[in-house]
Amino acid sequence: MRYNAESDLWVNSEGISFIKNEFDIRNPCFIELNDDVWQVGWMGRVSAINWGDVQLPDDIKAPIKIQVEAKLKSSKVAASYVRVIELLMRRLSEFWPKQCDSFRKFGLNECVYIWERLTSHNRSTFRQIITELAYSGNDLVDSNIVVRIRQWNARSNVKTLRYVLDWHPELGALTSAELELFRSRVSKGVPEIESDKDHAVRLLCWTLLELVKRPQQLLSIKADALISIVNNGITEYFIEVPKAKAQTGLAPDLWSISKPLAEEFNAFNNRPKIKQLQQKYNRLIIWDASFVELADQISSHNACSAVRYFTKRLNIVSPRTKKILHVTLYRLRHSVATRMVAQGVSREVIMHILEHDDITSAQAYIDAIGSDLVPAIERADRKLGGLFKGFNDIYFDGKIVHDLGKAKIFIPIFNANPMPIGSCSKDTIKQGRCKKQPFVACYNGCPDFLAWAEADHLKALTYVENEFERWSQAEGHNGRSKAIKDFEQLHHAINEVIQQIEGGGLNVDV
């Protein structure tokens, strides 16, 4: 393939022209321009538009076509933009006003007429095209129209985050019990009797539960992305995950995975047919499908369909609805993120894990859950007889014991009389030294923590409250920093220990 500088296109040996799209600079792709048909395989999906089928006046269609070509060449949009434009052109062909046969006749009335007949997604693309035509230097569209159209809301029926998180049985986040049921099933396959596809789909779900990445990212993982690192005799496992959306083209990051998941990947990689597909398409999570040939990987759309079919066959009954659990990849990501928020994970950490660029998105997400959702769960818990108890009691995860062990844990007050609050049951010979912060991590969800029933946990609570006050004053504003949120979470965990001891505790070892 050679580059034609005059047309700014690439041409193959058959004389067919291509646009080189470098939205993902690490994985550029070529969009085939075969007469009026533009076609490309990208992220597991083949996108195409036949400009000959677009029923718009030539003086309308031609400028749009030129603008779209320039945008694809600029690599400001991914190759999938071809599909976005195809959908818009199909929609515009249905109701474009007949009297408007050129942009010279395109006024505000025509713009309003079209806007009211577009879907929310079409509207965003249409507004973008009109804006770019207005500022293209050809005086095609009146800039006053752009000023007006920018003020219009593209979404006519906004479904807020609060609605999505309202524990809807099919749209909202999974409850803790539902999530753990699903997690247990996908981590217990039987590779000998599983089909290649079922094994791949199960691994896709399991990986999403651990990494909380977008389906597109997981499906784009390279075949050799599984990495093991030995440190002080302990083997850690990582997967190199490519970026997505606005971060596309940046270097992929290493994300830690559990040993069981790594071992499951090794079993999956040793399947003869899977090994061939991985070598052919250079994708870690892959299965045999006819549509992969053109696009080099499984698409998010097809993966979601496969997951829905797979999870229905798992026949998991929701303890909440008493019906078969409805699971999608996006619902899994949403559910794990929701649980992180409920556990008190900070905005910055959630933003980092979910790879959000816009800090306001992460903050709105946390605000919706923190201020509205948790009280709603508590109210629902009272009505449904403790259904959500497992979701709320997620801070203290250790045991209450009456004997103080040897590996003592102390309140971090530096004086001559250290106060023990429990001990650690971790087997450091087999598992290595604990890398977590003593006291804080012990109370806050560590299953190896043995809280001493005779300890002065009220003293520990007072220490946290004093630290909380000190940090609150240091912040100097009403914002909730990670440090303050951590103290709040720790406060909740110590209270759980005190309540369990005072109540006789279901978790007490005698």
CA-based nearest residue to 343, from 497, 496, 488, 167? 488
CA-based nearest residue to 421, from 458, 466, 467? 458
* pLDDT tier, 374 (very low <50, low <70, confident <90, very high otherwise): very low
* pLDDT single digits (tens) 122-143: 888 999 899 988 888 777 888 8
Q: For every residue of 344-382, which 3-state class applies, written as one string?
A: CCCHHHHHHHHCCCCHHHHHHHHHHHHHHHHHHHHHHHH
**How high is the pLDDT of residue 416?**
56
504 vs 163, residue with greater confidence: 504
Helical pair 108-115 and 120-134, crossing angle rounded to 10 deg? 160
**How high is the pLDDT of residue 361?**
55
Residue ranges and CATH numbers for the domains of the chain are: 2-149 (no CATH), 161-391 (1.10.443.10), 395-509 (no CATH)
CA-based nearest residue to 149, from 166, 173, 170, 133? 133
**How high is the pLDDT of residue 176?**
77
Lowest-pLDDT range of 190-204, 321-335, 347-361: 347-361
Mean pLDDT of the 162-166 span: 48
CA distance 426 to 372: 37
**Side chain identity at 286, as an amino acid letter?**
I
Burial class of residue 332, CB neighbours in 10 A (0-12, 13-18, 19+): buried
pLDDT at 466 over 80: no
Backbone region of residue 470 per phi and psi (left: phi > 0; alpha: psi in -120 to 50; beta: other values): alpha
Lowest-pLDDT range of 82-91, 206-215, 448-457, 459-468: 459-468
Phi first, then psi: what are they for 247, rounded to 5°?
Answer: -90, 0
**How high is the pLDDT of residue 372?**
42
CA distance 210 to 244: 18
**Total residue length of the chain:** 510
> Can you list the positions of beta strands (E) in 252-379?
253-257
pLDDT at 164 over 50: no
* pLDDT tier, 389 (very low <50, low <70, confident <90, very high otherwise): very low
pLDDT at 486 over 70: no
Side-chain-side CA neighbours of residue 122 (13 Å) = 15
pTM of the model: 0.59
315 vs 26, residue with greater confidence: 315
| Percent of all residues in the chain with a pLDDT value above 70, rounded to a whole number | 80
What tokens were used for 45? 């999906």
CA distance 482 to 461: 19
Q: What angle do CA 431, 432, 434 make, to 5 degrees?
A: 100
**How high is the pLDDT of residue 471?**
59
* pLDDT tier, 480 (very low <50, low <70, confident <90, very high otherwise): very low
170 vs 40, residue with greater confidence: 40
* pLDDT single digits (tens) 243-269: 887 777 778 889 999 999 999 999 999
**Side chain identity at 221, as an amino acid letter?**
I
pLDDT at 487 over 60: yes
The residue whose two tokens read 């556990």 is 343
Element (H, E) at 278: helix 272-281
pLDDT at 432 over 50: yes
pLDDT at 295 over 70: no
pLDDT at 199 over 90: yes
CA-based nearest residue to 295, from 310, 280, 312, 314? 280
pLDDT at 60 over 80: yes
Mean pLDDT of the 153-162 span: 52
Average pLDDT of the chain? 81
* pLDDT single digits (tens) 225-246: 999 998 888 899 999 999 887 7
pLDDT at 506 over 70: no
